[in-house]
Amino acid sequence: MFEALTGTGLAASAGLNAYIPLLTMALLGRFTNAIDLPNSWSWLTNGWTITILAGLLAIEMVADKIPVVDHLNDIVQTFVRPTAGGLAFGAGSSSETVTVTDPGSFFGSHQWVPIAMGGLIALGVHTVKAASRPVVNVTTAGFGAPIASTAEDIGSVLLSVLAIVLPILVLIGLVLMVWATVWVFQRRKRRRLDRLAGDPAGVQTRRLFG
């Protein structure tokens, strides 16, 4: 159960930021005893891997805080974050994978299942993030982008650390993410009703919905 929670937390974290959970595992695996990666995932703790992940993270953190650029970044990350989520779930749940030179053994042993699950979890979180960012940008004239992005980065770091150190608390993080998802879509619905009613200020909608 704890392995599944660890993988789930790391995959959800990757949906917010592809590189934070991988870099967290890499650093903790290299410099601490907090996580013991399987041999097949030991490449994460390589110095070059850590350097590349740190560089990609720096680029991601800057791009995600600039209005319009953040939208383009989300389009690119539609492919990157699920991939990172699959890797994070596979490594975090101690899934031993067969080398890609033997795909028949890989799929026959069902070792691809954790990676697929991680990819789906990360894709779901990424979809919500990408859908909420335009709402934030429009309602704040773009000034909310860096604030939202910073909050997402902090959330990704916390999820990653909790998933490794206290995986049971990942459940609390997931509940908060579900609440945030519901809030985002309710806000989008209200804005749509405002436009249809010709009420850009949202006064009538707020009266109807509280």
Summarised one tens digit per residue, pLDDT across range 71-124 is 899 999 999 999 999 888 878 765 433 333 444 554 455 566 778 888 899 998
Asked if residue 210 has pLDDT above 60, the reply is: no
Contact (CB, 8 A) for 129 and 159: no
What would the mean pLDDT of 47-54 be, rounded to a whole number? 95
Contact (CB, 8 A) for 40 and 150: no
Asked if residue 23 has pLDDT above 70, the reply is: yes
Q: What digits encode the pLDDT tens for the residues 80-90?
A: 999 999 888 87
Confidence of residue 192 (pLDDT cuts 50, 70, 90): low
Domain ranges of the chain: 2-177
CA-based R_g, the chain, Å:
19
Q: In whole angstroms, what is the distance from residue 117 CA to residue 119 CA?
A: 5
pLDDT at residue 164, rounded to an integer: 82
For residues 176 and 60, the model is more confident at: 60
Burial class for 86, CB neighbours closer than 10 Å (0-12, 13-18, 19+):
buried
Q: What digits encode the pLDDT tens for the residues 136-185?
A: 888 788 788 899 899 899 989 988 888 888 777 777 777 777 777 677 66
Burial class for 101, CB neighbours closer than 10 Å (0-12, 13-18, 19+):
exposed
The full DSSP string for 88-139 is: HHHHHTT-----TT-HHHHHHTTTTHHHHHHHHHHHHHHHHHHHHHHHHHHH
pTM for the predicted model, two decimal places: 0.75
Q: Of 139, 153, 156, 16, which Cα lies nearest the Cα of 67?
A: 139
Q: In whole angstroms, what is the distance from residue 208 CA to residue 124 CA?
A: 30
Q: Of 9, 5, 1, 11, which Cα lies nearest the Cα of 117?
A: 11
Long-range contacts of 68-74 (CB under 8 A, 24+ apart): 70/133, 70/137, 70/145, 70/149, 71/130, 71/133, 71/134, 71/137, 74/126, 74/129, 74/130, 74/133
3-state secondary structure (DSSP) of residue 141: coil
pLDDT at residue 62, rounded to an integer: 94
Q: In whole angstroms, what is the distance from residue 144 CA to residue 5 CA?
A: 31
Site of tokens 């519901």: 182
For residues 106 and 199, the model is more confident at: 199
Asked if residue 197 has pLDDT above 80, the reply is: no
